Structure 1
Amino acid sequence: MNRYFLLLLFPLLLSANLTFAVNHNKEVALLESFDIDPSFIYDPVMNKMRNKKTAIYKNKHFFKAMDKAYIFIPAIKRILAENDIPAEFLYLAMAESNFSTRAYSKKRASGLWQFMPRTGKQYGLKIDKYVDERRDLVKSTEAAAKYLSHLHKRFGKWYLAAIAYNCGGGRLSKAIKKAKSDELSVLLNSKKRYIPSESRFYIRKIIALAMVGQDEQYLMNSEYEHLLNRANAYSISTVQLSSGESLRRVSKIVGIPLKELKKLNRHLKYDFVPPYEKAYDIYIPYVKLNEFKRNYRPEPIRNIYKIHVVRSGDNLSKIGKKYGVSYRVIMDFNKLKHSRLRLKQKLVIPIDSRKKFKTISTRHYYMVKRGDTLESISKAHKVSVTNLKLQNHLKSSLIKIGDRLKINE
């Protein structure tokens, strides 16, 4: 009987051992990709964190984050590969931002890779009133790849590049000099505190996240099994839009909800691309690329945005407040070199077409200044003297400084 029971149990034991061996080999390979000695697999702090993380992330949080980033993870992995950076650095982005392109920290770090403004600009990311390319999932990843490559070249090991990404190259150099070693086990000494506690936590967190992300057995038995095929499934395409083009129009052309299109283009601060570029990159799902190529044709901005005709009393600040747009945006869109406006000048205002605005009243009032006459006022506003008299119940052409005249154009 016992022999029969063992025969039944043997395949299960064999399968369990094979699974353990496969997982162990994957974990060792993961550590080696970071240039970490395989013995780190037994690091007690990392394992405690890993077990804790496994419990937390298997409670949906980890895989929900992966699922939300499902469409652009292949693009991130491709950029890392093109720059000879281990694919496991994908989890550095997760540690930084939880795969959120709109993540923002108290220290003003932003985007998927949590670039500070200065570092972002140093690596070619534009940050202005129209865009924040730290939130651009492609450009920010390319910048992060360049930065990581630089750190790896400087320190020689990938785990050091990851630590430097967190605490800064200068801080790490001082730590290595003080410790007289760049070995991970030495730098992680909690009593000596060569590197900040945040950095000691950080490198372990990346490894723990990567190990949870490689848990294929869990994925295969969960609602997130499709994540196993993410490298071959969804992806994004880069397309170029003309100056000032609206995302709303593109969403209609390619048949994708505006909300989904905005998620892929968090780097745009408005619902349009910058007016200072002849062509600007945005991202659409790859499956929509042919539809975009067939149907997209650039249109003049005036066919998309509000045209405001300047009237008496208007200024850029007042117009901007009316439409909910910065006066600087109006200046840029209309290529204005100064803030002076002229009557009946046409301004293109980039606004959300769903917003409702009150019709601009043609009724204005004019305050009489020194030297004014009814004739000069009528010429300036293209209204007859008779009309002015009738509107303001004037029996003669005499007017005084400070009089408030009603003008209907």
Structure 2
Amino acid sequence: MKINKILLTLICIGFFYIPLIKADNPATLPTSFNLMGSKVEVTPSGMAKIMEKYNSLTRSKKHYDQLLERCNTYFPYIQRELLARGVPGDFKFLALQESLLDGSAISNATPPAVGFWQFKDFTAEERGMKISRTVDERKNVVSASIGAADYLSKNHYYLGNWFYAMISYHDGLGGAKKHISKNKLNYYSKVVIDGNTHPYVLHYLAHYFAFKDNVGQDAQHDVLIEFPCNGYSLNEVAKFTGQPVETLKQNNIWLTSSYIPEDKVYSVMIEAKPTEINQMVAKLSPYAKPKKTRAARSIFQFYADSIKDGYPFVLPIEDESKTAKFDFARVNGVKAVILHEEMTQKELSKALDGVSKGMIKKYNYIKGKDMLMKDRHYYLAPLPKTIPVSYHILEEGETLTFLSVKYGIDRKSLLILNDVKKDTDIKVGDKVYFN
């Protein structure tokens, strides 16, 4: 008999009740609402596109209930990992859109995208997921959600808006920048959804509205408990849980071996009845191993130096200036200006509101009365102490000050991160780390 499951965290020994109610198609969807930190307005043409997908999701009650069951099963863990990394919990509906929450889902792409969040192998491994003959963490809801949260968090850092970050999950960071510039979007003030909005965003909104009010309404079902462990065989797990090995295999498709590797702690899912949760937790507790949650800063170590030629990462902002001398932009995630002609520091400061000449010098490591150059970017805010790219291999003619401006990282922090006191302490060919 098919069972309804939700995931529970063993570490916290807490659990979620996720009821199931019948899908109820509303006659209309809101045209104005707040979502993921943005004010959203939907035009009639945008609503028509959303409703087309919305109706396809809700037309079949059987199909809808199957998807809702998966939402109830996996959303608690997905949301937990998103929120732990500062990503809005409503991105859980993006996982539903990506894979229909089918851990075994495989795309037709080359190489194929796999699992709950549809990661390709190289992207998954870059985010710390293991893929081998016996393990594929893309099919593990906890591991895959950590990877997705890391990816979204990093791209939001550069793009500055969660809807832009959503587009980047489909198009990549560079592709999102091209889409934003080509369509002259300005989601920083308001997200306008119309018939020309990226289809990925339209489909997300359809999934969001189709399921958001019905998720979490049914507590009468069997559950899954997260058992963080390693170094056990499934036969051993079966003995101290009292569950058949076949049941364990069905609930852990990410593991194709009968042995849980020892290289790290994995999330193994254990089935239990609602009335037996406490007893099962008590059984598992002596065998569980602490599963550390990566802090937001530590995610950066997983990013390879694969897009250095994309720096500085410049994203134009809707023109806020009243002059043709410069444009505002986000450069490496920091507000800046791009000059269209040479200017003195005093001239630029006078044209800006609240940015002094001293600030311009400080944020951009300018000495003396140097002229500000045409087609160069100049930061208007302090640079961060770490950035989400792993390292840069120093090339001829480059200095730490040059890298600070190119990548958008505080120079003093760069010295500390690399355990040096001055530029001459590093040489061509050395790795310069950013986190």
Normalising by the smaller structure, the TM-score range is 0.5 to 0.7
Using the TM superposition, give the Cα deviation of residue 82 of structure 1 relative to its aligned residue in structure 2, in angstroms.
Answer: 1.6
- In structure 2, what residue type is equivalent to 1:150? K
The alignment status of 1:289 with 2:256, answered yes or no, reads no
**Is the contact between residue 179 and residue 187 of structure 1 (CA under 8 Å) also seen in structure 2?**
no
In structure 2, relative to structure 1, the CA distance for the partners of 1:231 and 1:168 (3 Å cut) is farther
Counterpart Cα distance in 2 of 1:41 and 1:272: 55
Structure (1 or 2) with the greater helix fraction: 1
Query: CA–CA distance in 2 between the matches of 1:87 and 1:206?
Result: 13
Q: C-alpha separation between the residues in 1 aligned to 2:106 and 2:37? A: 27
CA-CA distance at 1:39 after TM superposition: 3.2
Does 1:165 pair with 2:144?
no
Q: 1:46 to 1:187 in 2, by over 3 A?
A: closer
Q: Deviations over 1:48-96 (max 9, x none)?
A: 324423543x522132123145333211111122222222211100111
d(CA) in 1 for partners of 2:258, 2:87: 34
Report the counterpart of residue 207 of structure 2 in structure 1: 209
Inter-CA distance 163–40: structure 2 relative to 1 (3 Å threshold): farther
Query: Matches of 1:261 and 1:292 in 2, distance apart?
Result: 14
Once the two structures are TM-superposed, the CA of residue 128 in structure 1 deviates from its matched residue by 1.6
Quick one: structure 1 residues 284 and 233, their matched pair in 2 at CA, closer, same or farther if it must change by over 3 Å?
Answer: closer
The 5-angstrom pairing of residues 66-77 of structure 1 reads 66-77=68-79
* Structure 1 Cα separation of the partners of residues 117 and 264 of structure 2: 28
Q: Answer yes or no: is the 8 Å Cα contact 2:156–2:162 preserved in 1.
A: yes
Instruction: Give secondary structure in 2 for the equivalent of 1:126.
Output: coil
Closer/same/farther in 2, CA of residues 156 and 239 from structure 1, 3 Å limit: same
Query: What displacement does 1:284 show?
Result: 2.5
Q: 1:150 to 1:234 in 2, by over 3 A?
A: same
More strand by share: 2
**Partner in structure 2 of residue 355 of structure 1:** none
1:361-376 alignment, distance < 5 Å: none
RMSD: 3.5
Structure 2: distance between partners of 1:42 and 1:179: 16
Residues 120 and 134 in structure 1, CA contact (< 8 A), matched pair in contact too = yes
More RCO (CA 8 Å, sep 6+): 2
What residue in structure 2 maps to residue 45 of structure 1?
48
1:253 aligns with 2:240: yes
Distance 1:188 1:161, change over 3 A: farther
* Percent of aligned positions that are identical: 26
Partner of 1:131: 135
Change beyond 3 A, Cα 1:41–1:232: farther
> TM (normalized to structure 2)?
0.51
Corresponding residue for residue 241 of structure 1: 230
SS in 2 for 1:239: strand
> TM-score under structure 1 normalisation?
0.54
Structure 1 residues 90 and 73, CA, compared in 2 at 3 Å: closer, same or farther?
A: same
Task: Report whether the alignment pairs 1:94 with 2:112.
Answer: no
Q: Deviations over 1:1-54 (max 9, x none)?
A: xxxxxxxxxxxxxxxxxx989x967x854x522625233587233343244235
The offset of 1:148, in angstroms, is 0.6
User: Structure 1 residues 99 and 54 mapped into 2: Cα distance closer, same or farther (>3 Å)?
Assistant: closer
C-alpha distance in 2, partners of 1:251/1:135? 21
Q: Secondary structure at the match of 2:42?
A: helix
Residues 72 and 234, structure 1, Cα contact 8 Å, conserved in 2: no
Q: Kindly indicate whether the alpha-carbon contact (under 8 Å) linking 1:41 and 1:47 is maintained by their aligned counterparts in 2.
A: no
Cα distance in 2 for residues equivalent to 1:147 and 1:270: 28
- CA pair 46-273 structure 1, distance change in 2 beyond 3 A: same
Aligned counterpart for 1:175 among listed residues 160, 175, 179? 179
Tell me how far 1:292 sits from its aligned partner: 2.2
Contact 2:58-2:210 at 8 Å conserved across structures: no
Segments of 5+ residues of structure 1 without an aligned counterpart are 1-18, 220-226, 299-409
Q: Relative to structure 1, is the Cα distance of residues 241 and 231 closer, same or farther in structure 2, using a 3 angstrom cutoff?
A: farther
Shift of 1:168: 1.2
SS in structure 2 of the partner of residue 236 of structure 1: strand
Give the SS at the match of 1:204: helix
Q: Extract unaligned runs of 5+ from structure 2.
A: 1-24, 290-435
The answer to whether the 8 Å contact 2:228/2:288 transfers is no
1:283 positional shift = 3.0
Instruction: Name the SS for the 1:168 alignment partner.
Output: helix
Asked if 2 retains the 8 angstrom alpha-carbon contact of 1:148 and 1:165, the reply is yes
Secondary structure of the 2:268 match is strand
Structure 1 residues 52, 280: closer, same or farther in 2, change over 3 A? closer
Counterpart of 2:139, as a letter, is: R
Cα distance between partner residues in 2 of 1:86 and 1:177: 25
